[in-house]
Amino acid sequence: MAKELGMTVIVTDHHNLYETEENETLLPPADAVVNPKQPDCEYPFKELCGAAIAYKLMEALLDRYRLPDKKEYLEELLSYTAIATVCDVMGLIDENRVIVRHGLKLLRRTKNKGLLALMDACGIDKEQLNSFHLGFVIGPCLNASGRLDTARKGLELLLAETTDEAVRLAGEVKELNNLRKDMTQENVDKAIALIENSPLKQDKVLVVYLEDCHESIAGIIAGRIRERYHRPTLVLTDAKDCIKGSGRSIEQYNMIEELSGCRGLILKLGGHPMAAGLSLVPDNIDPLRKALNENTSLTYEMFVPKITIDALLPLGYVTESLINEMKQLEPFGKGNEKPLFAERNLKIKSAFVIGKNACGIRLRVTNQYQREMDALYFGDLDAFFTHFAEKYGEEEVDKLKTGRGTKIELTVTYYPRINEYNGFRNVQLMIQNYR
């Protein structure tokens, strides 16, 4: 339509391009398409996120204008690009690593009133800002406004000109994110109940239909279900005039390729090997589920998560000095994961359930050399307690839940962090896996 109206159109994108059966790449009828994944594109790094490609376009346009504050403007845009790179779960390698590393430095000294207010509202010390805060605090708050209300609210926050306006908007987007978390958990619980009490549990590719789920959180829910069952997961929900859905995959399953083989059942499709979005008519939900499961080469052995440990590291070696040395490896994220350590046969001296919706547990643990430390686990606590009840019995788990001494021992994988609160500093273990 834009072309029909005589407009000049530039399309920026970072997704894989659709190829016809004749191996022709389909492109929109724009005057220019900026996407490094085009067959004739010679740009050396192909894994930029959409915001990074938009940044490149802005950089090129600004080269043609004589603006007195061009450098400051580009630095501000680069800080947003760093947020987007982490939130879109791009590999933090090559140019992405450079973008996030420099972007974090810029964000620590940002003058943007909205970002400063949001960091303050979320209790982030900007001097300690890292990729975790971008991906799990700042990004989700900005994103929640677009999911549940309007993306204008997040934009208004970033463009706020007064501190009062910024504080008000930061509070609103944080509250929207809290609402999004509650809605997500409610629908995750519904999805798990549906899987556990139906033939879906036997499927190798999970296709879960949640008719009343807000379509904007379907992808988040699919990610949670994928983490729990370690299977490719599609979450479908009612939308205007059709069914819409989002999928999250595992390394052994190219989701966009597998869905492309079912195009006859799908109205629209887009995405990557690890994530996809689609729309279809209601009558095709069951046929799609059957087609994906009947034509897959996945085996149940592939659903056993494999954990790679960097080192067996007893608690006595976990010091502030070691943690500060590891900071040189940051930013951590996809493609550059945090170091993962392990410790065996930890005794539990005390335990307390913590967090909103009781989503975590803080343990005081000691190893065979009597070295004590705090250890935190955030995840499925029901599964956590059930796991140990099967070995030690309900009575020992009840002791654990009520903070009493228990015979339970656990072996964990973890990464260490320095916790600062009210002027006190201590080293904590963040438990990733347990047995």
* CATH at residue 218: 3.10.310.30
Strand bridging mode 311-312 / 341-354: parallel
Domain assignment present for residue 190? The answer is: no
pLDDT band, very low/low/confident/very high, at 75 (cuts 50, 70, 90): very high
Do 208 and 350 share a domain, yes or no? Answer: no
Q: Is residue 192 part of a domain?
A: no
Q: In this structure, how many other beta carbons lie within 10 angstroms of the beta carbon of residue 2?
A: 13
> If we measure between CA atoms, which residue out of 251, 230, 349, 236 comes closest to residue 288?
236
60 is a domain residue: yes
**187 found inside a domain:** no
Q: Does one domain contain both 88 and 57?
A: yes
Q: Write the CATH number for 416.
A: 2.40.50.140
How many domains does the structure of the chain reveal? Answer: 3
User: Mind listing the pLDDT tens digit for each residue in 158-205?
Assistant: 999 999 999 999 999 999 999 999 999 999 999 999 999 999 999 999
Q: Return the closest-CA partner of residue 230 out of 206, 254, 260.
A: 206
Q: Nearest 5 degrees, angle CA 168-CA 51-CA 79?
A: 55
The residue among 259, 246, 243, 191 whose CA lies nearest residue 217 is: 246
Kindly report the CATH number assigned to the domain that includes residue 76. Answer: 3.90.1640.30
End-of-domain residue from the set 272, 303, 334: 303
Q: Distance between CA 401 and CA 73 in Å, rounded?
A: 52
pLDDT-derived band of residue 10, with 50, 70 and 90 as boundaries? very high
Answer whether residue 421 shows pLDDT above 80.
Answer: no
Whether 343 shows a pLDDT value over 80: the answer reads yes
Does the pLDDT at position 403 exceed 80? no
Can you tell me which residue has the tokens 């109206």?
5
Q: Are residues 146 and 206 in the same domain?
A: no
Whether this prediction's pTM lies above 0.95 is answered by no
56 and 148 assigned to the same domain: yes
Residue 356 clears pLDDT 80, i.e. is over it:
no
Reduced to 3 states (helix: H, G, I; strand: E, B; else coil), residue 158 is helix
Residue ending a domain, among 303, 324, 357, is: 303
Q: Where are the beta strands (DSSP E) in 3-63?
A: 10-12, 32-34
Beta strands across the sheet bearing 268-271: 206-209, 233-239, 242-248, 275-280, 268-271
Q: 402 and 348 in one domain?
A: yes
pLDDT tens digits along 92-131: 999 999 999 999 999 999 999 999 999 999 999 988 899 9
Among 303, 327, 355, the domain boundary falls at 303
Q: Do 65 and 166 belong to one domain? A: yes
pLDDT score at 300? 87
- Return d(Cα 47, Cα 18) in angstroms, integer: 17
Residue span of the structural domain in which 49 resides: 10-180
Of the pLDDT bands very low, low, confident and very high (cuts 50, 70, 90), residue 292 is very high
272 and 415 inside one domain: no
pLDDT at residue 174 in the model: 95
CA atoms of 187 and 358, how far apart (whole Å): 17
